[in-house]
């Protein structure tokens, strides 16, 4: 990833570590310290021949860098780990606040960055590993990268309050999927999609998540997992074979009734009737 203009190398390192889980940042700090400390503590070889002067100066330079680096790099990693933990907590609180009201104003009233973080947290609680692409604006193309079972899925977020998301946005994501070799993709909006966008997405492994489906995704992610029942294990999904969870219908004539839904929703929409 190219370094952003006006940022120092130290800031880039902290930002990169902050994208990792906090414990990964701690492990990096320990690893850097042990490796650099071992190198810095090695004795400087004595000058044996005049022709070895250049090599000895180079080794002394590297040992000097390792001496200071054994403290600086672990410190930057620890700062990044703290930032990762703070961001993780901030996203969790954002999800809790949004699902508490679950209104259109709650989605439309936040910034585009908060909207991306909210969507990412929703997918993270569905079992995906979520990575932010680091775009600097609300229309930067692919906003999130999802990974699960070695498969890559791309996400584009559109917090459009009045305008409906058209086919051009879906085409853009589909092109990025083809270029990256992604297994699937999601276009997420707080509003609606045009009919043309829906027709284009059909059969192309692109799932369109509008405001209503987004609320369902966030609500499912905010619920704690149900306690296991040894006598009656959860059924397997008829489409992908993964475990299913008990859900309640929110709309239609079956509103309030319970059914089994795939735990991999929304990537898999397999259902079973509750017996």
How many angstroms separate the most distant Cα atoms in the chain? 91
pLDDT over 90 (residue 153)? yes
- Which residues have C-beta within 8 Å of that of residue 169, sequence separation ≥ 6? 156, 158, 187, 197
**β-sheet bridge partners, residue 71:** none
- pTM of the model as a whole: 0.57
Comparison of pLDDT for 24 and 221, the residue scoring more: 24
pLDDT surpassing 50 at residue 228: no
Residue 2 lies in a domain: no
From 194, 144, 149, 147, select the one nearest 173 (Cα to Cα): 144
Q: How far apart are CA 23 and CA 43, in angstroms?
A: 33
More confident residue, 45 or 72: 72
Task: Find the mean pLDDT for residues 31-51.
Answer: 80
In a domain, 1, yes or no: no
CA-CA distance, 248 to 48, in Å (whole number)?
A: 80
Alpha-carbon distance of 68 to 50, in angstroms, equals 28
pLDDT of residue 138: 47
The pLDDT-based confidence of 22 (bands split at 50, 70, 90) is: confident
One domain for residues 207 and 120: yes
> How many structural domains is the chain composed of?
3
Domain membership of residue 266 as a residue range = 224-275
**Phi, then psi, of 266 in degrees rounded to 5:** -95, 0
The pLDDT score that the predictor gives to residue 101 is: 67
Same domain, 63 and 122: no
Instruction: Characterise 135 by phi-psi region: left (phi > 0), alpha (psi -120 to 50), beta (else).
Output: beta
Residue 188 has pLDDT above 90, yes or no: yes
pLDDT of 275: 61
Which pLDDT value is given to residue 232? 46
pLDDT of residue 89: 84
Q: Is residue 82 part of a domain?
A: yes
Q: Are strands 129-132 and 144-148 parallel, antiparallel or unpaired?
A: antiparallel
Q: Is 3 a member of any domain?
A: no
Counted residue by residue, the chain has a size of 275
Q: Exposed e or buried b for every residue in 180-219, given b needs 16+ CB within 10 A?
A: eebbbbbbbbbbbbbeebbebbeeeebbbbbbebbbbbbb
Q: Is residue 147 part of a domain?
A: yes
224 vs 40, higher pLDDT: 40
Q: Which of 14-18, 146-150, 176-180, 269-273 has the lowest mean pLDDT?
A: 269-273
**Same domain (yes/no): 197, 252:** no
pLDDT of residue 252: 61
Contact 132, 122 (CB under 8 A): no
* Both structure tokens of 94: 């954002």
């Amino acid at each position: 990833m190219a370094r952003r203009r006006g940022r120092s190398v130290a800031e880039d390192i902290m930002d990169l570590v902050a994208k990792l889980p906090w414990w990964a940042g701690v492990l990096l700090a320990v690893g850097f310290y042990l490796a650099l400390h071992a190198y810095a503590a090695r004795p400087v070889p004595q000058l044996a021949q005049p022709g070895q002067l250049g090599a000895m100066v180079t080794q002394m330079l590297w040992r000097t860098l390792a001496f200071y680096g054994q403290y600086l790099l672990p410190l930057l990693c620890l700062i990044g780990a703290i930032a990762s933990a703070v961001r993780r907590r901030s996203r969790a609180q954002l999800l809790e606040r949004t699902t508490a009201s679950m209104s259109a104003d709650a989605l439309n009233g936040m910034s585009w960055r908060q909207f991306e973080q909210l969507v990412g947290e929703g997918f993270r609680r569905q079992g995906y590993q979520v990575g932010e692409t680091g775009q600097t604006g609300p229309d930067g193309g692919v906003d999130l990268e999802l990974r699960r079972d070695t498969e890559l899925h791309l996400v584009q977020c559109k917090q459009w309050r009045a305008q409906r998301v058209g086919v051009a946005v879906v085409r853009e994501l589909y092109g990025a999927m083809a270029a990256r070799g992604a297994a699937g993709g999601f276009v997420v909006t707080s509003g609606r999609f045009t009919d043309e966008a829906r027709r284009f997405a059909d059969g192309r492994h692109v799932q369109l998540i509008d405001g209503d489906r987004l609320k369902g995704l966030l609500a499912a992610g905010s619920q704690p997992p149900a306690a296991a029942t040894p006598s009656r294990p959860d059924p397997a999904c008829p489409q992908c074979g993964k475990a299913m969870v008990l859900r309640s219908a929110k709309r239609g004539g079956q509103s309030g009734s319970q059914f089994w839904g795939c735990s991999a929703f929304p990537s898999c929409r397999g259902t079973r009737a509750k017996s």
